[in-house]
Amino acid sequence: MNNTRILIYDTTLRDGAQTSGISFSLQDKIRIAGELDRIQVDYIEGGWPGSNPKDNIFFSEIRKAELQHAKIAAFGSTKRQHYTFDNDDLLQQLVQSGASTITIVAKTWDFQVTRALNISLQQNFDLIYGTVAYLKDKGFEVFLDAEHFYDGFAANPDYSLKTLEKAREAGADMVVLCDTNGGTLPHDIERITRLVVEQMQMPTGVHFHNDAGVAVANSIAAVRAGVISVQGTMNGYGERCGNCDLTAFIPNLVFKMGYKCAASGALAHLTEVSRYISEIANLAHNERAPYVGNDAFTHKGGIHVSALKKDTKTYEHLDPALVGNRRRVLVSELSGKSNIEVKAKELGIEMKEGVTLPAKILKQIKSLEDQGFQFEAAEGSFELLIRKASGEYVPFFILKGFRVITEKNEKNILTCEATIKVEVDNRIEHTAANGNGPVEALDNALRKALEKFYPEIGELQLSDYKVRVLNEKGGTASPVRVLIDQKRRTEHWGTVGVSTNIIEASWQALVDGIEYMLYKKLLSRERQHSDG
């Protein structure tokens, strides 16, 4: 265990908010800050006061949130060249933000100073020194984000280092080396960072972008070189290719490198918080993300699963529970009997026929997958398959028949109607419903027919519907696979159907989804009855 304590500085609410497709509301930012505090990041950069009204309000509202651990940091730039300290509105907004920590971005690449700011190199020194000294006199903790530092060091190391020295002379609490363009590789990061840490003899942090795909690796290299703080974002959000992904960096720091950080004791919540922030951002969660992705501890190959039954270390580098994730075993044509046995145990299904039933189920699955079925994203259909094979499942209704009519009139108006007849407990229900398309019409008719028998169907929602052509050479006669995701309250599940008829494939998936929900409800009632 390394006794060095690394400070985690999260900039999801500022840098992460610059991700294409993300637009956090004020309430989103407050809720995310609460989750970041829950996993005990040390600093939460709330935004840039003065850049927009939302950020201004955030800094006043976050004071009411009663965070337990994290400090709130406000981000801004050095004083502008032709303003005094008192009449630079952007600087005064930082002072009035109420944040205890202020992070000032400054140019450290001579090219950026003369090209972007259009000022002299000495004037840039004066802005850095003056701004840091002014904020320190006001009583703030001040960090200097050394923008473009690594590119600047490559071009003119003497000038880049002098910008840091100006910040140190003015009393900065930390200098943060930024790879703003994200193109520097780990071996150069470690070499340059070690030189800076040794020469500056003051607290040093880093901030990496992921344009070369190495932001996490660069952060690891910088820690090895002696920095005490790493900036990043949850899920790696950020402009262009994103920032250092803290959901990967923090577990690497703690479990692989043996360093301490405040978040060490809260990593059991990491996956949950990561997914929560994905939802707030309205972006699909990266299921292949290390540590927090749904696939991070997912096993498909039969040899792998067989070995996992003996010892999980055979194919897992870490216990998923340490980061709040879980082990998943998939069943496919690559599976062995071990996959079936592990999956059945996970679902609480007893394999009464011992060795023969898993082999029988495996043969059935391989036959179905040969037809185009896929159970990796359809665990609802897979569970029903096992329960049917084990003889414990009885259908909740019997289809007597359905008809779907699609009409288009001379006014180019398209209408779809489905008529369905089902039997439940020897009672026949015959009904019809409309929809925007044939699948929706069929879904509406089925729900309408079953609701009087199973009122909970009214809570069922179809959240995703995907169709994939399995043999494009077959043209419109090709078989299709339909994957449907449904949810009820906080639960969600996937089901699958395959046919050369898209309506039939959709029907298979729809029925599995409804029957899965009803069966789960039945199991829940039985458990409550037995517990009572």
Residues 468-493: tens digit of each pLDDT: 888 766 677 788 889 888 888 777 78
Q: What mean pLDDT value characterizes the chain? A: 89
Please tell me which residue, 501 or 525, carries the higher pLDDT value.
501
* Percent of the chain whose predicted confidence (pLDDT) is above 70: 89
The CATH topology of domain 7-281 is TIM Barrel (3.20.20)
pLDDT one-digit tens code per residue, 73-109: 999 999 999 899 999 999 999 999 999 999 999 999 9
* Percent of the chain whose predicted confidence (pLDDT) is above 90: 63
Least confident span in 114-118, 200-204, 463-467, 489-493: 489-493
pLDDT of residue 334: 45
Read off the tokens for 445: 């008719």
339 near 302, Cβ under 8 Å? yes
116 near 151, Cβ under 8 Å? no
9 near 45, Cβ under 8 Å? yes
**pLDDT higher than 70, residue 301:** no
pTM > 0.95:
no
Q: Over range 369-390, report the average pLDDT.
A: 78
Distance CA 418, CA 431 (A): 8
Distance CA 486, CA 514 (A): 9
The CATH topology of domain 397-453 is Double Stranded RNA Binding Domain (3.30.160)
pLDDT one-digit tens code per residue, 16-38: 999 998 999 998 899 899 999 99
Q: Phi/psi of residue 212, each to 5°?
A: -100, 10
Three-state secondary structure of 449-491: HHCCCCHHHHHCEEEEEEEEECCHHHHHHCCEEEEEEEEECCE
**pLDDT higher than 50, residue 185:** yes
pLDDT of residue 276: 86
Q: Over range 444-469, report the average pLDDT.
A: 89
Q: How confident is the model at residue 223 (pLDDT cuts 50, 70, 90)?
A: very high
Read off the tokens for 452: 């009087």
**Domain boundaries of the chain, sorted by first residue:** 7-281, 298-371, 397-453
Q: Which residues, 6 or more positions from 320, have their beta carbon under 8 angstroms from its beta carbon?
A: 296, 297, 326, 327
pLDDT one-digit tens code per residue, 135-145: 999 999 999 99
pLDDT of residue 327: 76
Q: Phi/psi of residue 403, each to 5°?
A: -140, 135
Q: Over range 488-499, report the average pLDDT.
A: 85
Read off the tokens for 34: 């609460």
- DSSP labels for 136-165? HHTT-EEEEEEETHHHHHHH-HHHHHHHHH
Q: Which residues, 6 or more positions from 432, have their beta carbon under 8 angstroms from its beta carbon?
A: 417, 418, 419, 420, 445
Q: Over range 276-293, report the average pLDDT.
A: 88
186 near 219, Cβ under 8 Å? no
Helix axes 356-371, 379-389, angle to 10 degrees: 140
pLDDT of residue 47: 95
Least confident span in 173-187, 389-403, 415-429, 463-477: 463-477
pLDDT one-digit tens code per residue, 324-373: 988 776 555 445 555 666 666 666 666 655 546 667 777 777 778 778 78
